[in-house]
Amino acid sequence: MPSRFRPASLAAALLVTSALPTFAADETAEVWRLFVTDQQAGRVTALDATSGETLGVFPTTGYVTHLKPSESGSILFAVQMDHDMVNVIDSGLRFTSHGDHGDVEISDPALLDLELAGSRPVHIVPHGDEMIQFYDRDGEARVYNEAALLEGDTKHDIFRSAAPVHGVAVPMDKYMLMAEPNLTAETKAGDLPPRFGLSILDETKAQVGDAAVCTGLHGEASSAGMVAFGCAEGVLVAEPQSGAEPKLTMLTYGDDLPDGTVGTLLGAKSMQYFLGNYGDKGVVVIDAKAENPFSLTELPVRRVDFALDPKRVTTAYIFTEDGRIHALDTISGELSRSTQVTDPYSKDGHWRDPRPRLAVMGDEIAITDPRASLVRILDAETFSELRTIEVEGLPFNITAVGGSGLTH
């Protein structure tokens, strides 16, 4: 794949850090914390990523299906789809930028004494100082303010779709991009209608124009101001327009691609491109401005999880069911190295069966190994295993939060 990505402004990389020993005044600290869900039990474990110390075990209402930090890393949403609940965790980390340097304040992580109840919460979108949580069976997106939540205030704005739907909502300038259901489709009692496409709501919450077709809309990501959504027809991208509503463009799957669709998307932060799944054994790099926007890489076996490296901006990591991790060069589309990490984890069986998940933190990669009750820490350059951290139960979803700054 030719080097054709457009550079973009560097955004503050979101990392996960751990508590550090006492530092002298005005000393630079790099902090990393890992937050890990259990595949069966309702809890999130906070870990010091360096020492492996458990910093807290936070009980949740039920099994956590999604765990996502805010853009600043100050809070995390622990979403329990089957229990109609979202718990909020204070990461204990505060990063402040001063232009030529940044500061970091470190305290203990904590489970906030508030609950964000609603019918079937699933997709969360961090955006600036906001967290947008979609509740499928309510057919609404709630916009929460990070600072308010830290003060115990759950006030929120609401944007609604035409009807309940497995949806998502993404802000863009003064507009909201909103998944919409197909209200003409036959739906069994108790089921949500299929996704039809994407509408644009203005600041009065009125729809602007007709909804764009994006059948089965699933998966969203942002990259350098652009937002992408996975569809049956291709990938729908939204771009901001000065003084007008966002521009929507469908990138249709080319004839050179095998059968498949994109349903999970990741967005690069320092370059404008996306990485998506494609079929059981493929990933696609998506460059929305290229003549052929899709570059497919076929994997040797089925894919389990994948992640972009915010520091090494043209590198992604893919874990496959044979227990191996692979480094993908997102420019060439080639797998540059691979290493055995765990025993095999077959993709056969239920989608919720315990399987590894990845998180990138600076120069290291964290991988959950549920059957071994471990988090394995690898060197990002060599894939050598640096250490392991024992975690009670079946460690599953994992998120890293952190970075570097001056301590005062």
- Tens of pLDDT, residue by residue over 130-172, are 999 999 999 999 999 999 999 999 999 999 999 999 999 999 9
| pLDDT bracket for residue 3 (50, 70, 90) | very low
pLDDT for residue 102: 75
> Across the chain, what does the average pLDDT equal?
92
- pLDDT(264) > 60: yes
Identity (one letter) of the amino acid at 135? Y
More confident residue, 263 or 1: 263
pLDDT for residue 198: 98
More confident residue, 94 or 319: 319
pLDDT for residue 405: 66
pLDDT for residue 27: 80
Residue 374 contacts residue 390 (beta carbons within 8 Å) = yes
Residue 86 contacts residue 118 (beta carbons within 8 Å) = yes
Q: What is the mean pLDDT of residues 196-219?
A: 96
| pLDDT bracket for residue 2 (50, 70, 90) | very low
pLDDT for residue 100: 58
Residue 330 contacts residue 290 (beta carbons within 8 Å) = no
Helix (H) or strand (E) holding 149: helix 146-150
Distances in whole angstroms, Cα of residue 340 to Cα of each of 44, 273, 396: 27, 28, 19
| pLDDT bracket for residue 11 (50, 70, 90) | very low
Distances in whole angstroms, Cα of residue 128 to Cα of each of 72, 77, 132, 145, 351: 8, 15, 10, 9, 32
pLDDT for residue 188: 87
Residue 77 contacts residue 131 (beta carbons within 8 Å) = yes
- pLDDT(101) > 80: no
Percentage of the chain beyond pLDDT 70 is 92
pLDDT in tens, 340-397: 999 999 999 998 899 999 999 999 999 999 999 999 999 999 999 999 999 999 999 9
- pLDDT(12) > 50: no
Among residues 178, 179, 131, 180, the alpha carbon closest in space to that of 156 is found at: 131
pLDDT for residue 315: 98
pLDDT for residue 5: 46
Q: Is the dihedral of CA 248, 253, 259, 261 positive or negative?
A: negative
Residue 246 contacts residue 240 (beta carbons within 8 Å) = yes
pLDDT in tens, 221-253: 999 999 999 999 999 999 999 989 999 999 999
pLDDT for residue 232: 97
pLDDT for residue 312: 96
pLDDT for residue 20: 42
Q: What is the mean pLDDT of residues 32-57?
A: 97
pLDDT for residue 408: 65
Residue 264 contacts residue 257 (beta carbons within 8 Å) = no
For every residue of 234-292, which 3-state class applies, written as one string? EEEEEEEECCEEEEEEEEECCCCCCCCCCCCEEECCCECCEEEEECCCEEEEECCCCCC
pLDDT for residue 6: 45
Residue 354 token pair: 């315990």
Strands 93-97 and 102-106: antiparallel
